[in-house]
Every structure is written in C-alpha cells, then in structure tokens.
C-alpha cells in the first residue's frame, strides 16, 4: 500500500498515512488536538533511483549484452 504525506495547515505538522490508491484524501489529521484542522496532500521525493550500467531506465539490458551475442 502506498504511503502518502500530508501537511496540517493548523499545527504545521507533516505526517504520513498508509492508504489504498482508491481511498479518498484525508481532510483532517487523525489524533490532532485542533478540532477540524485542515490538511493538504504534499508531493515528496521518491527513493527509487536507477544507478549503474546494468539496466537502462526503459527496462532493457545494456548494449554490452547485445555485443556478446
């Protein structure tokens, strides 16, 4: 299940919520001391990075493998 980040505009806190893709966005922070606080979904960086010469970003193997054949 994806983890989404939200920002509470009232208490200025960033928190995470594990939700299904089909779930509706949160409208308030669970457990917030402020009644009817408003939250906004934020976009954060991903940890997925393609490094090295083993695979190209399009999913195909490197050209070195083709030269061996």
Quote the strand ranges of 1-64, DSSP E. Answer: 3-8, 13-18, 39-42
* 9-13, 48-52, 65-69, range with the lowest pLDDT: 65-69
- State whether the Cα torsion 23-28-29-30 is positive or negative: negative
Domain segments of the chain as ranges: 1-43
Give the residue ranges of DSSP H helices in the chain: 63-68
**Residue 5 to residue 16: CA distance in whole angstroms:** 4
pLDDT (tens digit per residue) in 5-24: 999 988 888 999 999 989 99
pLDDT (tens digit per residue) in 31-48: 877 777 889 999 887 777
**Is-above-0.75 flag for pTM?**
no
What is the per-residue pLDDT for 34? Answer: 77
């Amino acid at each position: 299940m994806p983890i989404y980040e939200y920002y509470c505009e009232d208490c200025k806190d960033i928190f995470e919520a594990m939700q299904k893709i089909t779930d509706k966005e949160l409208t308030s922070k669970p457990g917030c001391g402020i009644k009817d606080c408003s939250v906004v979904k934020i976009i954060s960086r991903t940890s997925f990075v393609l490094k090295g010469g083993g695979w190209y970003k399009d999913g195909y193997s490197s050209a070195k493998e083709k030269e061996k054949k």
